[in-house]
Structure 1
Amino acid sequence: MKSMVTLSVNDLSVQYQSQGKKVQAVDHVTFSFDKNESLGIAGESGCGKSTLGLAIMKTLQENASVSGKILFDGKSILETSDSEFTKDIRWKQISMMFQGAMNSLDPVFTIKKQFEEILKKHNFQGDKKQAIELAISSVGLSHPVLDKYPHEISGGMKQRVIIAMALIMTPRLVIADEPTTALDVLVQAQIMILLKKLKKEGLSIILISHDLGIISEIAEKVGIMYAGQIVEFGNMQEIYKNPKHPYTIALLESIPKLQETKRIIPLKGNPPSLVNPPSGCRFYDRCPQAMEKCKKDPPKIKTESGFVMCWLHE
């Protein structure tokens, strides 16, 4: 019987070499999710979320070194040559909405011209006009937007264009890196409604965000990332109702609730440097429940639907 796993990441590490220093951006990350499931990756800025997405897309900078395994429908992404990956997988099977991408549209070309360049780059053989119009309509935009330049449309429309570009080659998996950042609340809601609609139509999504509230609208599974590691992983429902890692608890407590009036208490301190990450639990200096044994590397404890890396659940 064919495996139902769409994406499996095993012991993935990504290290950047910069000015003679090594930055451990992703540190031995392991997770998987099935077809028709979506995954949320949550954590503070600089925790390695975006690097994880770029590693899956094989679009890391040249100064990055990667180890571990990434399997997409059983095929090893890391062992696939760049030319084969570009030909068969990138944008066709897996695409990505990059962080801040709405500002990366070329200001001197119309939206239509930029769509045409994507299709040309990936040797699209079908009806280009029909494909572009279908992609635009799928994100709730009308045909006239194609003749406009980026500066002539709003931030929300730019973000919809970016989503349409990620979908034009009809991939099965889309990595959305902070797709609602820098958008007003109304436009954020529109983008989330759009992503949920696309998910209902069969698209798998990896949603990267610092906002667990947004992730809860999309994902069946969630990975909590801290200082390059996934410290808790499991079904969304279990993690929301019964979070186990102190960092997960702190993230959930930071979400404003309409029914509650208590003041939100910010998490004190800063994440550790990834240039020389400390031994033991990386949340030790900020954890209200830290113990002496937490200075040792925490065990990976199996939970009902995933795992948690914490001595409290030994």
Structure 2
Amino acid sequence: MRERLLAAEKVVSIRWRDGCLHLLDQRLLPLKQVWLRYDSSADVATAIRDMVVRGAPVIGIAAAFAVVLAARARLAQGADWRGALAADCQQLAAARPTAVNLFWALKRMAACLAAHDDAQALAALEQEALAILDSDREANLAMASLGAELIRKDNSQPQNIYTHCNAGALATGGFGTALGVIRAAHADGLVERVFVNETRPWLQGSRLTAWELLEEGVPTRLNVDSAAAFVMREHEVRWVIVGADRIANNGDVVNKIGTYQLAVTAMHHGARFMVVAPSSTIDMDSECGDDVEIEERSAEELLSFAGQRITVDMPTYNPSFDITPADLIDAIVTEKGVVERPDEEKMQALMCRKRLH
């Protein structure tokens, strides 16, 4: 399976070349594929905030390389460069408050920095960022195999699958989380069709997920978010598969707004609900989903479309994420293994495991 998945890999969203970070501008996809070059931490923070790069795992990876850029600039300035670097890391942390992978990566880079003297620091930080990227790629492959096997055990016949937002190669350093599982399941002949939510207001489903799946020949249908219940009833959806931006200690999942209502709808229609995310997405310091700060984005995302105002000025409520309670989740798939019907005890046991691959 590993070799088949690697051979099928077509989409890449992040590159580290010649000491600079290169990001595929996801705001322009799928109509334009434009790579942007970054050589400053502040600019990467802006790219994260403005969603040039999006998806919890790849946000963490981008932040790790941004620390390398910041360290290089601060070392050149000389005195108290570590203090100045800490301020750069705070700026990165503030870019998107909900996705825990961002904070996980910054914490890992801080630990690396603390372990090395000034002469070794820059090289060590670069190697650590590359290790974070490589680790995510390997985690994606492991999760793809584990998730596909879970689908096969449930039903070995081709089946309809539903997904939301984008948890594919564009959102990770490798093959994707939720879409990685879907790709692996398709390679094993387990997919009849994938239904993709548009995912308002940024349309990550129609712009990104549908494009990724079509690029790899996966049978795909796009629908508006509000069609979810009808699609599940009319097309006998067997699995809803999504990613996650943060998973709490008790198994509650924070993901793109709209995930919670999909989980409720799936339970009513007898579809199983799978969350696919690396263990770096699990935040054991958050007892439950209610402990997580939910990012609320600009009103302009609802009042305008493609730069064109579509309604009158009015108050808006535009949370970027919602919280899906653990009791609505059938399985959480990580590179450390699968947790079915998650709860606090099972999540803690999972985090004590070593990686399976």
TM-score band by shorter chain is: under 0.3
Structure with the largest fraction of strand: 1
TM-score, normalisation: structure 1 = 0.28
**Of the two structures, which has the highest relative contact order with CA contacts closer than 8 Å and spacing of 6 or more?**
1
Structure with the higher fraction of residues in helix conformation: 2
